[in-house]
Amino acid sequence: MYSFKDDYSELGHEKLLNDLLKLSKIQMDGYGLDSVSSEAKELIKKRFAMTEADVHFISGGTQTNMILCNSALSQIEAVIAADTGHICVHECGTVEHNGNKILTAPNKNGKLSPCDIEMICLSHTDEHMVFPKLVFISQATEKGTVYSKRELKDLFDVCRKFNLYFYIDGARLGTALVSDGIDIKPEDMAQLCDAFYIGGTKNGSPLGEALCIINDKLKERFRYYLKQHGALIAKGALIGSCFKTLFTNDFYFDLARYSNTMAQKIVKAFTDKGYKLSYASGANMIFPILPNEKLAELQKSFKFHIWEKIDDNNTVIRLVCGWATVEDEVNKFIAML
Amino acid sequence: MYSFKDDYSELGHEKLLNDLLKLSKIQMDGYGLDSVSSEAKELIKKRFAMTEADVHFISGGTQTNMILCNSALSQIEAVIAADTGHICVHECGTVEHNGNKILTAPNKNGKLSPCDIEMICLSHTDEHMVFPKLVFISQATEKGTVYSKRELKDLFDVCRKFNLYFYIDGARLGTALVSDGIDIKPEDMAQLCDAFYIGGTKNGSPLGEALCIINDKLKERFRYYLKQHGALIAKGALIGSCFKTLFTNDFYFDLARYSNTMAQKIVKAFTDKGYKLSYASGANMIFPILPNEKLAELQKSFKFHIWEKIDDNNTVIRLVCGWATVEDEVNKFIAML
Amino acid sequence: MYSFKDDYSELGHEKLLNDLLKLSKIQMDGYGLDSVSSEAKELIKKRFAMTEADVHFISGGTQTNMILCNSALSQIEAVIAADTGHICVHECGTVEHNGNKILTAPNKNGKLSPCDIEMICLSHTDEHMVFPKLVFISQATEKGTVYSKRELKDLFDVCRKFNLYFYIDGARLGTALVSDGIDIKPEDMAQLCDAFYIGGTKNGSPLGEALCIINDKLKERFRYYLKQHGALIAKGALIGSCFKTLFTNDFYFDLARYSNTMAQKIVKAFTDKGYKLSYASGANMIFPILPNEKLAELQKSFKFHIWEKIDDNNTVIRLVCGWATVEDEVNKFIAML
Amino acid sequence: MYSFKDDYSELGHEKLLNDLLKLSKIQMDGYGLDSVSSEAKELIKKRFAMTEADVHFISGGTQTNMILCNSALSQIEAVIAADTGHICVHECGTVEHNGNKILTAPNKNGKLSPCDIEMICLSHTDEHMVFPKLVFISQATEKGTVYSKRELKDLFDVCRKFNLYFYIDGARLGTALVSDGIDIKPEDMAQLCDAFYIGGTKNGSPLGEALCIINDKLKERFRYYLKQHGALIAKGALIGSCFKTLFTNDFYFDLARYSNTMAQKIVKAFTDKGYKLSYASGANMIFPILPNEKLAELQKSFKFHIWEKIDDNNTVIRLVCGWATVEDEVNKFIAML
């Protein structure tokens, strides 16, 4: 049965896997110090207009988030995040395992607001409570929504005001940056935060994310943290090469654009048929509301996530399109609506 | 310049990479729940005669060691290891980061003895000191030596006596199990310890180790620990497929045997020329003693690790052969002795 | 200016301090193994009808909570608590520092309900999320309310159903157990939870709480955790003696009763004057609602906590009476209403 | 039976306990913010000539060491200590529980040397190993020996060279500073390290140590760490008052001098009788070597620690004198030699 469950169900684009094959027997320096990884880092720094950034390749998103948080924070410092934040719910308490509390605010369509941050900072005033130090958001969010440039700027401003680090989880940064109506270019990113990561796993790579550290304070001895958390893989070129391929001729954004096109095709079909969507998403993750009978019918032919029941008759589902989504299956799905 | 520095300098055997390519667009369940990983686990369980074992694929050795230790131990419990143990020195304090002390004993040729364990247990008797609970060794050791069946049995016996878990780091288990004079078969392993891992990274795989848990007490909720430590990679088939290829027709041991053959060819050349070796190793990591002039000469054409100076005129070097070692380069190296 | 801010503003009852003086030069075993501490433990076990319990004296509430949680939980396990729980807000993230996430539910008058627990357990179903394992409540709660016997039983039942530990923070257990309308006797406590602590600091002792562990699973090697967290004080008799004095002739409950009497005298005065109370509390911590002018007037003569604004004209304040509350000051305060 | 086991067997000097009694009913600010604690801090800062230091009162030595280390170090940083260091052996792995590795060097009479530190720093050069950042010593050491001013200066110099913090555990600082032949005055201490603590527990106080932080970098948000580790006791005046009494008219050093006098009286008796001492100690902890028959005889009348067997016939014992040591018992002991 065809699945719209996720954008990481297929191993990886053959272009990336073919480039790996070429490296099979080449002797390279270990632990990410190889020349292929260096080339990949240069490509990324150029594309995102951040000459001074440090780029590190890390195997997955949870690992990236946990290491960035652990290296940025002392044990009495805390993270601020929306209650839907991936680190709050779906990373098995890794931030807490490493010693830091997460202070949450109720999300609005998956987003955190400057006001949430301000309220948390103002109410944490003495040593009986933790000290807020880092703001975590996801772009796109866990609900598929995308922050505008203005929204990111406002968040970054309030972070500066309270001396907080601003970190963006970019598991789906690719699809966010080519989403409908987005006013943020890749080259803007380094101006909008202290650190962010460029998701590979959900955009065609068999493995890996590219963590980009802009703020010098977050750079120091970062490789120690990679090693301590078991993230300094011996054959760093495995991820390096994939990102080199992805950022050669903007292939990364071609894949992301394809994902969005497929998802938006489904959005249009839903809208045309008169269905509503739970949150407006211009990227690759959509949340249509379905009557339960229609839901049951679709489940016979397709796999997808049940998100939440909204009343006795209607349910929100989550559909995700990716670089490997088969257009024929999209068409079949639409035909069933 | 050709390198004998390590057995993980090349990305991975083309057979494994080719098999990955075949999976490029196949939809699979995420986080290691795919059928390819399941097949790989079955192959391993069969080959090692351990039907009841739990097998988990993890991206690297440090990660595997840290998660096994963290899941096995409460915060007041400690690890016992030889002072040369990889976890003691070269994992950037990951065991301690996760809260556990390592109690060390001086190594003998890289090995830990039952007597070391007994002495540590007998001297840790009250709540002012940590509670020893897990013994860590490497097979082959960090000095290339290999424990015999008798030695492992004796270690396991003393562990049983003091109610300690016995865990074996098998980063180089492949070459150990086909090393000269070894009396341990793969199917013996599960009888000799509570958990061990089968190293992929140092034996032809671009990524990954296979952790095998024998003792039921260590199995419970292990996937939670994988997730919490960022080790549950989204595309688990990446490692699963590599191990499937490695354990189809014993390809894993073919590669290991080749590594040993190359290394022992060098050993023989050294011995023939009258050079001594620092530790007797029948596997793929060797430690010859060289006069400093010869060392300088070899360094012009080859890369390898300087291990330690033994006197003003002589130095121990470390040479490692692997699945990708080029025999012509071995011959050139020998010719220079 | 006289303070109604807290029940721990005065060092401790002279009876306890005098008994300490008698021990000045007596040689005793260290680290809580002295005979005075043993006698105190026996008195407590007898009074609470829990022959098999383990009792440990610990210097403060935060320390007691953190050690109990840390010893009870593995790193992937989580605490469930009301969002007002002391451990959630006012212990500077100590539970998280030790590696565990706290899952919170919105409080109802400071209380957690069985339904909250059930919902959290049912929504935490796989390894992407932490594993709920311990329920934390306070008796009396942070809002001065007191759980009834039925309420505790229901909570304990749902804990048993989901295999969770049930732990009660008794910083103000004394005043709770003698509060108006309470149907729980000291000798019921051990039937209602897995562990609880009897607060000394807030009931006349210069230092210390008595942690009582009922469930055998929580007893093992507990002194190791005390030591590891720096809680095994060298002169354990310091706390032991205080609890011996407190539990000789039920002096502990005499002090608590006095605290409640003073507080309820104020409650009556407020009610008589037509003021409302924010939460119904029959113990020693009360939350009257005051018009802002009255508030300003009282602040000129007394110290107390401003709890929260409810509208432009009215504010909730917190008043606490203790063993050392001076009745004359209570009378003066009442006279100003 | 009279005990020479420790200097903390008796609860505390009556002068201190009497002063506590006077505070019984006085309302004071909580958590160490009371005026008595402030006065005590001023007395200490004056006596040690360190106007700019931060002083914190903490209940015990293990707690003090663990919090100082945890607040000073990030997770990838490590402590350097002699293998006999209290934190290495007798604090139940608290430094490791909080995430930091301890790198040890073999002690020489309980001491660490500048050369040990240098060797450890020079061999820790990349991210595969932890990053050394803090040096821990005890003054007096765990073997009763005392560092000279020159020795402390040399240690501090090498710390400066490698950018390490230098921290001194002063559980027995009192007796060290009045020991035979000492050339360090209290007012020198702040020039010789980044932080140290003045032990109260082992010098007449029922509870508490005074941590003195000299280096500004170690001061920031220290009270958060106190709270997070459960060390911010509600009634801070309990320790504050004891230190106020101890540092009024140098009573602290009077007590320490008495402890040394008693111990040195025993030393003289041993020497006069021709017995040897294992380490030269001019303070209050001594390690005579006894023939086993004499040992057995003394054990019938006195309690003390058996330290180690040196051969079949002779054993090292540990004797400790304190502020409460009864001179008559010392005389009886001597008479038995």
Amino acid symbol at A237: A
In the block, tokens 């990410």 appear at A32
The domain ranges of chain A are 2-6+254-335, 14-246
Q: How far apart are CA D294 and CA B49, in angstroms?
A: 61
Work out the minimum CA distance from C226 to partner chain B, whole angstroms: 8
Would an 8 Å CB–CB cutoff place B229 in contact with chain A? yes
* Amino acid at the residue D160: R
Subunit partners of chain C (3 or more CB pairs within 8 A): A, B, D
Region of residue A221 (left: phi > 0; alpha: psi -120 to 50; beta: else): left
Q: Token pair of C122, please? A: 């049912």
Among residues C186, C210, C171, the alpha carbon closest in space to that of C320 is found at C171
- Contact of A224 with chain D, judged by CB distance below 8 Å, is answered with yes
Which whole number is the average pLDDT over D67-84?
A: 97
Mutation site for A-interface testing, chosen from B27, B75, B197 by largest number of A Cβ within 10 Å: B27
Please tell me whether residue A294 adopts helix, strand or coil conformation: helix
Nearest-5° angle of CA C307, CA C312, CA C314? 45
Q: How confident is the model at residue D303 (pLDDT cuts 50, 70, 90)?
A: very high
For each of chain C's 337 residues, which pLDDT tens digit applies? 999 999 999 999 999 999 999 999 999 999 999 999 999 999 999 999 999 999 999 999 999 999 999 999 999 999 999 999 999 999 999 999 999 999 999 999 999 999 999 999 999 999 999 999 999 999 999 999 999 999 999 999 999 999 999 999 999 999 999 999 999 999 999 999 999 999 999 999 999 999 999 999 999 999 999 999 999 999 999 999 999 999 999 999 999 999 999 999 999 999 999 999 998 788 999 999 999 999 999 999 999 999 999 999 999 999 999 999 999 999 999 999 9
Chain B interface test: which of D83, D92, D102, D309 (most B C-beta within 10 Å): D92
Tell me the nearest-neighbour CA distance from D133 into chain A, angstroms. 13
Give pLDDT, residue D166.
Answer: 98
Chains touching D, CB cut-off 8 Å, 3+ pairs: A, B, C
D91 chain-B contacts, CB cut-off 8 A: 128
Residues of chain C contacting A79 with CB distance shorter than 8 Å: none
Q: Of D75, D78, D93, which has the smallest distance from its Cβ to B130's Cβ?
A: D93
**Torsion angles phi and psi, residue D251, rounded to 5:** -55, -35
Query: Does A130 sit within 8 Å of D232, measured CB to CB?
Result: no
pLDDT at D279: 86
**Do residues D209 and D199 make contact, with C-beta atoms less than 8 angstroms apart?**
yes
A225 and D76 in contact by Cβ < 8 A? yes
Contact B98 C75 (CB under 8 A): yes
pLDDT in tens for each of the 337 residues of chain B? 999 999 999 999 999 999 999 999 999 999 999 999 999 999 999 999 999 999 999 999 999 999 999 999 999 999 999 999 999 999 999 999 999 999 999 999 999 999 999 999 999 999 999 999 999 999 999 999 999 999 999 999 999 999 999 999 999 999 999 999 999 999 999 999 999 999 999 999 999 999 999 999 999 999 999 999 999 999 999 999 999 999 999 999 999 999 999 999 999 999 999 999 998 788 999 999 999 999 999 999 999 999 999 999 999 999 999 999 999 999 999 999 9
What DSSP designation does C211 have? Answer: E
In whole angstroms, what is the distance from residue D328 CA to residue C258 CA? 47
Task: Name which of D131, D226, D232 is nearest A224 (Cβ-Cβ).
Answer: D131
Position A106 scores a pLDDT of 96
Measured between CA atoms, the residue of chain D closest to residue C98 is D98
- Closest of A143, A132, A41 to residue A86, by C-alpha: A143
Put simply, whether B89 touches D (Cβ < 8 Å) is: yes
Residue A214, CB-side half-sphere exposure with 13 Å CA sphere: 19
- Enumerate residues 8 to 47 of chain B having a beta carbon within 8 A of any beta carbon in chain A: 8-14, 17-18, 20-21, 23-30
CA atoms of A261 and A250, how far apart (whole Å): 17
pLDDT of residue D280: 79
Amino acid at A226: L
Contact between chains at A90 and C129 (C-beta distance less than 8 A): yes
Angstroms from D247 CA to nearest CA on chain A: 28
The reported pLDDT for the residue numbered D311 is: 94
Which residue of C75, C77, C95 is the best one to mutate when testing the B interface, meaning the one whose CB has the most B CBs within 10 A? C75
Q: Which residues of chain A does C75 touch, with a Cβ-Cβ cutoff of 8 Å?
A: 93, 97
Phi/psi at D303 (nearest 5 deg)?
Answer: -100, 135
B226/C contact by beta carbon, under 8 A: yes
The minimum CA-CA distance between B264 and chain C, rounded to whole Å, is 45
pLDDT for position C281: 81
Q: Indicate yes or no: CB of A127 within 8 angstroms of CB of D223.
A: yes
pLDDT digits (tens, 9 = 90+) for D234-262: 999 999 999 999 999 999 999 999 999 99
Q: Which residues of D touch A101 (CB under 8 A)?
A: none
Give burial (CB, 10 Å; 0-12/13-18/19+) of B300. exposed
Q: Which residues of C touch B127 (CB under 8 A)?
A: 221, 223-224, 226-227, 232
Flag if D97 and B76 touch (Cβ within 8 Å). Answer: yes
Q: Which of C62, C224, C327 best tests the D interface by mutation, with the highest count of D CBs <10 A?
A: C62
Q: Architecture of A14-246 per CATH?
A: 3-Layer(aba) Sandwich (3.40)
Whether the CB of D62 is below 8 Å from some CB of chain C: the reply is yes
CB contact under 8 Å between B221 and C131, yes or no, is yes
- Among the listed residues D255, D254, D269, D257, the one whose alpha carbon sits nearest the alpha carbon of residue D330: D269
CA distance D32 to chain B (A): 28
Query: Can you state the angle between helices C237-246 and C35-47, rounded to 10 degrees?
Result: 40
Q: What is the token pair recorded at D199? A: 């032990």
Sheet of strand C77-82, all strands in order from the earlier edge strand to the far edge = C54-58, C209-213, C195-199, C165-169, C131-138, C77-82, C102-105
Angstrom distance (rounded) from CA C246 to CA C43: 9
Smallest CA–CA separation between C259 and chain D, in Å? 14
Establish if C232 touches chain B: CB-CB under 8 angstroms: yes
Which of D71, D127, D228 is opposite residue A224, by nearest beta carbon? D127
Does B75 sit within 8 Å of C127, measured CB to CB?
Answer: no
Minimal Cβ distance to D97: which of B75, B91, B92: B75
Label residue D5 exposed, middle or buried (CB < 10 Å: 0-12, 13-18, 19+).
Answer: middle
Q: Which residues of A touch D33 (CB under 8 A)?
A: none
A-chain residues within 8 Å CB-CB of C99? 96-99
Q: What angle do CA A34, A35, A41 make, to 5 degrees?
A: 100
Pairing assessment for the beta strands D285-286 and D54-58 based on DSSP bridges: unpaired
The pLDDT assigned to A31 comes to: 97
Question: Does ipTM come in above 0.85?
Answer: yes
CA angle, corner C31, sides to C25 and C35, nearest 5? 60
Chains B and D: how many Cβ contacts under 8 Å? 54
Tell me, yes or no, if D139 comes closer than 8 A to chain B by beta carbon: no
Spatial distance between the Cα atoms of B307 and C304, rounded to a whole number of angstroms? 69
- Chain-chain contact of D27 with C59 (C-beta, under 8 angstroms): no
Predicted local confidence at residue D218, as pLDDT: 98
pTM above 0.90, yes or no: yes
D chain contacts of residue C10, beta-carbon cutoff 8 Å = 23-28
Q: Which residues in chain A touch residue B32, judged by CB atoms under 8 angstroms apart?
A: none
Question: What CATH number does domain B2-6+254-335 carry, 3.90.1150.10, 3.40.50.620, 3.90.1300.10, 2.60.40.10?
Answer: 3.90.1150.10
Identify from C6, C8, C9 which residue to disrupt to test chain D contact, counting D C-beta atoms within 10 A and taking the largest count.
C9
Computed over every residue of chain D, the mean pLDDT equals 97
pLDDT per residue of chain A (337 residues) written in tens, 0 to 9:
999 999 999 999 999 999 999 999 999 999 999 999 999 999 999 999 999 999 999 999 999 999 999 999 999 999 999 999 999 999 999 999 999 999 999 999 999 999 999 999 999 999 999 999 999 999 999 999 999 999 999 999 999 999 999 999 999 999 999 999 999 999 999 999 999 999 999 999 999 999 999 999 999 999 999 999 999 999 999 999 999 999 999 999 999 999 999 999 999 999 999 999 998 788 999 999 999 999 999 999 999 999 999 999 999 999 999 999 999 999 999 999 9
- State the pLDDT at residue B278: 92
Question: Above pLDDT 90, what percent of chain D?
Answer: 99
Query: Given CB atoms, is C218 within the 8 Å cutoff of chain D?
Result: no
Contact assignment for A128 to D76 by CB distance below 8 Å: no
Partner residue opposite B100 with nearest CB, options D76, D91, D96 = D96
What share of residues in chain D are helix, strand, coil (percent, to 5)? 40, 20, 40
Instruction: Please report the pLDDT score of residue D270 as a whole number.
Output: 96
Q: Checking DSSP bridges between strand C165-169 and strand C195-199, what pairing results, if any? A: parallel
C6 in A contact zone (CB under 8 Å): no
- CB contact under 8 Å between A8 and B63, yes or no, is no
Count of H helices and E strands in chain A? 13, 13
Residue B167 tokens, joined = 């865990």
- Length of chain A counted residue by residue: 337
Closest CA to D229 of B291, C65, A299: C65
User: How many Å lie between the alpha carbon of B111 and the closest alpha carbon of chain A?
Assistant: 24
